[in-house]
Chains A and B, each alone.
Chain A
Amino acid sequence: MTGFARRFFSRPTAALGFAVFAAIVLIALAAPLLFARGPFAIVGMPLLPPGSPGLPAGSDVLGRNMMIGLAYGARVSLLVGISATLCSTFVGILLGAVAGYYGGLVDDLLMRVTEFFQIIPAFVLLMVLVAFLQPSLTSAIIGIALITWPNVARVVRAEFLSLRNREFVEAARTLGMRDTRIILTQILPNALPPIVVVSSMMVGNAILAESALSFLGLGDPNLLSWGSMIGGARSAMWVAWWTTTLPGVSIMITVLALNFVGDGLNDALNPRRRR
């Protein structure tokens, strides 16, 4: 494990990405403690520029403190991004493992389904799902998980396909282990590295998808997110640049940090890519 950590942190971008992401997680966790009044409280005149007294990030169209909005927005982005990825990874591992281990008809079926999801316009499907289920945190998480699980399933299937006939698996079979046990205790641990890499990249994409939903007004109406801050400030864009710029920069920094972490994990976990 220490060797892994050393490899990961020896990449400057990976270390930076990790530090930035950790800071964002801290802000998200601390938001209710730091700003007890919540992001919807009106604190002053609308559209005050950043640096006004008590408003380091300015105020928005309704005179709310942008700083508080940005901190609370991190909660929504991270919650949706991480939960959706966990759901999608769980489903992807389950179906990908079965398809890769057993092959045959199940495998054919799964491959057709993943191809189908590659062809259809995923974001429009996501809009339909969230609109039909009614916009909420849960529907965003379900919707994003539903359009992304095939990516995980493909990776898991490929790993299982290449591992299922290795000697250590044969040995386990000879010992009389049952299939579920072989899948869970023998193959899965060996298939984890690529799954971890794909999942870490997916969190960033899920955050982008959530922000797009919120921007279109398909976010949870009771929560302030970075996407809904941008969507709500469109009319003020011409006169108050910070209302749209700052939430967008927040999204970008978060996703960029996650992509750096994903790249770093890929290098640290994949010995063939090491230079």
Chain B
Amino acid sequence: MKLHYIAMRLVKTVLVAIAVVLLSFFLIRLAPGDVATVMAGQSGYADEAYMKSLRAEYGLDQPVPVQLWKYVSAVAHGDLGTSYVRSQPVLTIIMERLPNTLLLDAFALVVAAVGGIWLGGMAARRPGSAIDNATAVLAMFFYSVPQFWLGMMMMLVFAVWLGWLPPFGIETMGADYTGLARIGDVALHVLLPGTTLALYFMASYARLTRTAMIEVADQDFVKTARAKGIRERQVARRHILRNALIPLITFAGLQASILVGGNVLVENVFSWPGVGTLAYEAVASRDNPLLLGIFIVTAVLVSLFNLVTDIAYSIADPRVELGQ
């Protein structure tokens, strides 16, 4: 039965990907002008005949359904078009930057999960205590602060005033570290942008863990565990926390799309050479194919990540039998 659930989720992921491509096709038509006007503008001269030949070359003179079919099959083959500015395939440019973004996100998610679960666990143990109220206030604060501005303030304090951490980039320029020294250098650089990204999610994980733990603590199997004489610490860790963490898996999937938005802003503040900074560069240089390509790639990645978290959830929670 679980296989059935996983198969249904796979189908859903494919449908989302198709919907993303369809949406992209209509987004292209929103922009004023077409490829021909942009190319003609770059070449410096444009008479009617040249425009016409360009439109024929890109298939813009064909009926919309034909254009749509060509677009869909091109994207399905990994062809996301060519960057206006860099004259390179969009997918190549994105893939070059992707590992840096994944590194940043992995760091942020681990920090957020470890910190959030720890804080949430402390808060759940004594609802209404100082630490419980502190996590509530912090969550409210991080929901209300623009992420890019939080990053700038972190930079101002920890890089400019205190001078503890490097403010920009992924490694020290011109230092040419190798091996362990390089890993240490990158680790130092990931701290500020990674923590900035993590803080928002840490606050929500803490609140969620707290709620889930209080809810689970009320259930019969916990009472049974206590009645059997298991020590309170064991009950909290083995019985309550483990079960409370299950909804967190789904939550991580649902928040992945928010994480991508954070990438654009935070990477940009810290000049982190990832996909987020690339999106900003695409906006600044009016490179529409690149910007749209980033939307398609990140949307597909997020839906894949959702697929993984849903499968992980179905494995972690034996109650999931049939997909809805």
Among A104-130, those with CB < 8 Å from B are: 116, 118-125, 127-129
- List the count of A-B residue pairs having beta carbons below 8 Å apart: 126
Offer 9 A-B interface pairs, CB within 8 angstroms, sorted by A. A124-B261, A124-B279, A127-B264, A128-B295, A129-B30, A215-B265, A244-B152, A248-B145, A259-B143
* Overall SS of chain B's interface: helix
Q: Report if B196 contacts A (CB, 8 A).
A: no
- Chain B window 134-164, contacts with chain A (Cβ cutoff 8 Å), 1 for yes, 0 for no: 0000001101111111001101100010000
Residues of A within 8 Å of B292, CB to CB, are: 128
Task: Judge whether A129 and B146 touch: CB under 8 Å.
Answer: no
Residues of B within 8 Å of A251, CB to CB, are: 145-146, 149
The chain A residue sitting closest to B282, CB to CB, is A131
Q: Report if B100 contacts A (CB, 8 A).
A: no
* Interchain CA distance A36-B20 in the complex, whole Å: 47
Task: Judge whether A121 and B302 touch: CB under 8 Å.
Answer: yes
Q: Report if A230 contacts B (CB, 8 A).
A: yes
* Neighbour of A211 across the interface among B146, B264, B283, B294, CB < 8 A: B146
Task: Judge whether A125 and B16 touch: CB under 8 Å.
Answer: no
Q: Report if B299 contacts A (CB, 8 A).
A: yes
Residues of B within 8 Å of A245, CB to CB, are: 153, 156
Among A29-83, those with CB < 8 Å from B are: none
* Interchain CA distance A245-B157 in the complex, whole Å: 12
* Neighbour of B146 across the interface among A133, A248, A259, CB < 8 A: A248
Q: Report if B27 contacts A (CB, 8 A).
A: yes
Residues of B within 8 Å of A259, CB to CB, are: 140, 143-144
The chain B residue sitting closest to A218, CB to CB, is B283
How many residues of chain B are within 8 Å of chain A by beta carbon?
Answer: 45
Task: Judge whether B283 and A230 touch: CB under 8 Å.
Answer: no
Task: Judge whether B295 and A124 touch: CB under 8 Å.
Answer: yes
* Interchain CA distance A263-B284 in the complex, whole Å: 38
How many residues of chain A are within 8 Å of chain B by beta carbon?
Answer: 39
Among B277-300, those with CB < 8 Å from A are: 279-280, 283-284, 286, 288, 291-292, 294-295, 298-299
Task: Judge whether B261 and A121 touch: CB under 8 Å.
Answer: yes
Given A123-B261, A238-B160, A252-B149, output 13 extra A-B contacts at Cβ < 8 Å.
A118-B257, A120-B302, A121-B261, A123-B260, A124-B261, A124-B294, A128-B295, A216-B265, A230-B149, A237-B160, A244-B152, A244-B156, A248-B145
* Interchain CA distance A237-B159 in the complex, whole Å: 12
Task: Judge whether B16 and A252 touch: CB under 8 Å.
Answer: no
The chain B residue sitting closest to A119, CB to CB, is B303
Q: How far is the CB of B30 from chain A (nearest CB, A)?
A: 4
Residues of A within 8 Å of B298, CB to CB, are: 121, 124
